[in-house]
Structure 1
Amino acid sequence: MSRSIADVPTRSARSRSGGDTGAIETRRSAFSLGQVAAAVPGALRKLNPAAQWRNPVMFIVWVGAALTTAIAIAEPFLGGPEPSGGTTVPVGFTAGIAVWLWSTVFFANVAESVAEGRGKAQAQALRTTRTTTIARRVISYDERGDAAARSVATEDVASADLALGDVVIVETGELIPGDGDVVNGIATVDESAITGESAPVVRESGGDRSAVTGGTRVLSDRIVVRITSKPGETFVDRMIALVEGAARQRTPNEIALNILLASLSIVFVVVVLALNPIASYSASPVSIPVLVALLVCLIPTTIGALLSAIGIAGMDRLVQRNVLAMSGRAVEAAGDVTTLLLDKTGTITYGNRHAADFVPMAGVEREALARAASLSSLSDPTPEGTSVVELAAALQGIVADLPRDAVAVPFTAQTRMSGVDLPDGTRVRKGAAGSVLAWLDVDAAAPVSAETRAELRREADAIAQAGGTPLAVAIMGPQSDGVLLGVIHLKDVVKDGLRERFDELRSMGIRTVMITGDNPLTAAAIAKEAGVDDFLAEATPEDKLALIRKEQGGGRLVAMTGDGTNDAPALAQADVGVAMNTGTSAAKEAGNMVDLDSDPTKLIDIVRIGKQLLITRGALTTFSLANDIAKYFAIIPAMFMGVFPGLATLNVMQLSSPASAVTSAIVFNALVIVVLIPLALRGVRYRAASAASILSRNLVVYGLGGVVAPFVGIKLIDLVVSLLPGF
Structure 2
Amino acid sequence: MMLDLTQLRTALPGALRKLDPRLLLATPVLLVVELGAVLTTVLSILDPSTLGWMVTVWLWLTVLFGNLAESVAEGRGKAQAASLRALQTETTARRLTGGKPDGEGAQEEQVPSTTLRTGDLVVVEAGERIPGDGEVVQGVASVDESAVTGESAPVIRESGGDRSAVTGGTTVLSDRIVVRITSEPGQSFVDRMIGLVEGSERQRTPNEIALSVLLGSLTVVFAAVVVSLYFVADYSNAPQSVLVLTALLVCLIPTTIGALLSAIGIAGMDRLVRRNVLAMSGRAVEAAGDVDVLLLDKTGTITLGNRQATELLALEGVDPDELAQAALLSSLADETPEGRSVVTLVAGEGTVPAVPAGAELVEFSATTRMSGVDVDGRQVRKGAASAVTAWVGRSDPGLDALVQQVSSTGGTPLVVAEDGRLLGVIHLKDVVKPGMRERFVEMRALGIRTVMITGDNAVTAHAIAEEAGVDDVLAEATPEDKLALIRKEQEGGRMVAMCGDGTNDAPALAQADVGVAMNTGTVAAKEAGNMVDLDSDPTKLIEVVEIGKQLLITRGALTTFSIANDVAKYFAILPAMFVVAFPQLEVLNVMRLASPESAIVSAVVFNALVIVALIPLALRGVGYSPGSAQALLRRNLLVYGLGGLVTPFLGIKLIDLVVSTLPGL
TM-score calculated relative to the size of structure 2: 0.87
Whether 2:385 is the aligned partner of 1:436: answer yes
Matched to 1:344, the amino acid is K
Deviation at 1:635, TM superposition (A): 3.1
Deviation at 1:626, TM superposition (A): 1.2
What does residue 676 of structure 1 align with?
Answer: 614
What does residue 289 of structure 2 align with?
Answer: 335
CA contact (8 A) 1:340 1:560 kept: yes
Whether 2:4 is the aligned partner of 1:42: answer no
Which of 47, 54, 57 is the aligned partner of 1:96?
54
What does residue 123 of structure 2 align with?
Answer: 170
CA contact (8 A) 2:392 2:417 kept: no
Whether 2:615 is the aligned partner of 1:615: answer no
What does residue 371 of structure 1 align with?
Answer: 321
Query: Structure 2 CA distance, aligned partners of 1:136 and 1:228?
Result: 16
Deviation at 1:345, TM superposition (A): 4.3
Whether 2:224 is the aligned partner of 1:278: answer no
Secondary structure at the counterpart of residue 289 of structure 2: helix
What does residue 515 of structure 2 align with?
Answer: 577
CA contact (8 A) 1:181 1:228 kept: no
Whether 2:79 is the aligned partner of 1:121: answer yes
The superposition leaves residues 355-374 of structure 1 with CA deviations (integer Å, 9 ceiling, x where unpaired) of: 7777777xx36xx4643443
Q: Map 1:290-369; keep pairs closer than 5 Å.
A: 290-349=244-303, 364=316, 368=318
The superposition leaves residues 505-531 of structure 1 with CA deviations (integer Å, 9 ceiling, x where unpaired) of: 223332211233433223223323433
Gaps of 5+ in 2: 332-338
TM-score calculated relative to the size of structure 1: 0.80
Q: Map 1:232-247; keep pairs closer than 5 Å.
A: 232-247=186-201
The superposition leaves residues 92-125 of structure 1 with CA deviations (integer Å, 9 ceiling, x where unpaired) of: 0110011111111111111111111111112222
What does residue 697 of structure 1 align with?
Answer: 635
Deviation at 1:549, TM superposition (A): 2.5
Q: Map 1:544-623; keep pairs closer than 5 Å.
A: 544-623=482-561
Deviation at 1:613, TM superposition (A): 1.1
The superposition leaves residues 170-210 of structure 1 with CA deviations (integer Å, 9 ceiling, x where unpaired) of: 34365554445556666655544444445555555666555
The superposition leaves residues 418-463 of structure 1 with CA deviations (integer Å, 9 ceiling, x where unpaired) of: 677785858575x6xxx3355335524xx446x6477446634653
What does residue 479 of structure 2 align with?
Answer: 541
CA contact (8 A) 2:301 2:501 kept: no
Gaps of 5+ in 1: 1-28, 77-90, 392-399
Query: Structure 2 CA distance, aligned partners of 1:454 and 1:254?
Result: 63
Query: Structure 2 CA distance, aligned partners of 1:47 and 1:665?
Result: 22
Query: Structure 1 CA distance, aligned partners of 2:303 and 2:96?
Result: 42
The superposition leaves residues 6-40 of structure 1 with CA deviations (integer Å, 9 ceiling, x where unpaired) of: xxxxxxxxxxxxxxxxxxxxxxx562221111111
CA contact (8 A) 1:505 1:688 kept: no
What does residue 598 of structure 2 align with?
Answer: 660
Deviation at 1:344, TM superposition (A): 3.2
Secondary structure at the counterpart of residue 616 of structure 1: helix
Query: Structure 2 CA distance, aligned partners of 1:507 and 1:483?
Result: 50
Deviation at 1:562, TM superposition (A): 2.7
Matched to 1:513, the amino acid is V
Query: Structure 1 CA distance, aligned partners of 2:220 and 2:517?
Result: 43
CA contact (8 A) 2:10 2:75 kept: yes
Secondary structure at the counterpart of residue 513 of structure 1: strand
Secondary structure at the counterpart of residue 413 of structure 2: strand
Query: Structure 1 CA distance, aligned partners of 2:442 and 2:170?
Result: 38
User: How high is the sequence identity, in percent, across the aligned residues?
Assistant: 62
How has the CA–CA distance of structure 1 residues 145 and 404 changed in structure 2, closer, same or farther, with 3 Å as cutoff? closer
Deviation at 1:618, TM superposition (A): 1.2
Query: Structure 2 CA distance, aligned partners of 1:697 and 1:676?
Result: 18
CA contact (8 A) 2:234 2:241 kept: no
CA contact (8 A) 1:180 1:213 kept: yes
Deviation at 1:680, TM superposition (A): 0.5
Deviation at 1:664, TM superposition (A): 1.3
Whether 2:223 is the aligned partner of 1:269: answer yes
How has the CA–CA distance of structure 1 residues 350 and 186 changed in structure 2, closer, same or farther, with 3 Å as cutoff? closer
What does residue 23 of structure 2 align with?
Answer: 51
Query: Structure 1 CA distance, aligned partners of 2:132 and 2:356?
Result: 48
What does residue 85 of structure 1 align with?
Answer: none
What does residue 42 of structure 2 align with?
Answer: 70
How has the CA–CA distance of structure 1 residues 709 and 413 changed in structure 2, closer, same or farther, with 3 Å as cutoff? farther
Query: Structure 2 CA distance, aligned partners of 1:240 and 1:463?
Result: 46
Matched to 1:459, the amino acid is Q
Query: Structure 1 CA distance, aligned partners of 2:70 and 2:12?
Result: 11
Matched to 2:107, the amino acid is R
What does residue 150 of structure 1 align with?
Answer: 107
How has the CA–CA distance of structure 1 residues 157 and 358 changed in structure 2, closer, same or farther, with 3 Å as cutoff? closer
Matched to 1:280, the amino acid is D
Query: Structure 1 CA distance, aligned partners of 2:636 and 2:363?
Result: 61
CA RMSD of aligned residues (A): 3.6
CA contact (8 A) 1:356 1:491 kept: yes
How has the CA–CA distance of structure 1 residues 637 and 691 changed in structure 2, closer, same or farther, with 3 Å as cutoff? same
Deviation at 1:580, TM superposition (A): 2.7
Matched to 2:321, the amino acid is R
The superposition leaves residues 34-62 of structure 1 with CA deviations (integer Å, 9 ceiling, x where unpaired) of: 11111111111111212222100011111
Query: Structure 1 CA distance, aligned partners of 2:131 and 2:358?
Result: 46
Query: Structure 1 CA distance, aligned partners of 2:416 and 2:119?
Result: 51
Secondary structure at the counterpart of residue 516 of structure 2: strand
Whether 2:409 is the aligned partner of 1:463: answer yes
Whether 2:663 is the aligned partner of 1:717: answer no
CA contact (8 A) 2:365 2:371 kept: yes
The superposition leaves residues 268-301 of structure 1 with CA deviations (integer Å, 9 ceiling, x where unpaired) of: 0000111121233344466111111111111111
Matched to 1:233, the amino acid is Q
Query: Structure 2 CA distance, aligned partners of 1:329 and 1:340?
Result: 17
Query: Structure 1 CA distance, aligned partners of 2:630 and 2:137?
Result: 52
CA contact (8 A) 1:64 1:292 kept: yes
How has the CA–CA distance of structure 1 residues 351 and 184 changed in structure 2, closer, same or farther, with 3 Å as cutoff? closer
CA contact (8 A) 1:276 1:285 kept: no
How has the CA–CA distance of structure 1 residues 145 and 493 changed in structure 2, closer, same or farther, with 3 Å as cutoff? closer
Q: Which moved more, 1:321-330 or 1:217-226?
A: 217-226
Query: Structure 2 CA distance, aligned partners of 1:170 and 1:305?
Result: 51
How has the CA–CA distance of structure 1 residues 209 and 524 changed in structure 2, closer, same or farther, with 3 Å as cutoff? closer
Deviation at 1:607, TM superposition (A): 1.6
Whether 2:192 is the aligned partner of 1:258: answer no
Whether 2:161 is the aligned partner of 1:223: answer no
Matched to 1:128, the amino acid is A
How has the CA–CA distance of structure 1 residues 142 and 691 changed in structure 2, closer, same or farther, with 3 Å as cutoff? farther
Matched to 1:311, the amino acid is G
Whether 2:644 is the aligned partner of 1:706: answer yes
CA contact (8 A) 2:408 2:459 kept: no
Matched to 2:41, the amino acid is T
Aligned residue-pair number: 652
What does residue 334 of structure 2 align with?
Answer: none
Query: Structure 1 CA distance, aligned partners of 2:226 and 2:255?
Result: 15
Matched to 2:639, the amino acid is V
How has the CA–CA distance of structure 1 residues 277 and 439 changed in structure 2, closer, same or farther, with 3 Å as cutoff? same
Secondary structure at the counterpart of residue 582 of structure 1: coil
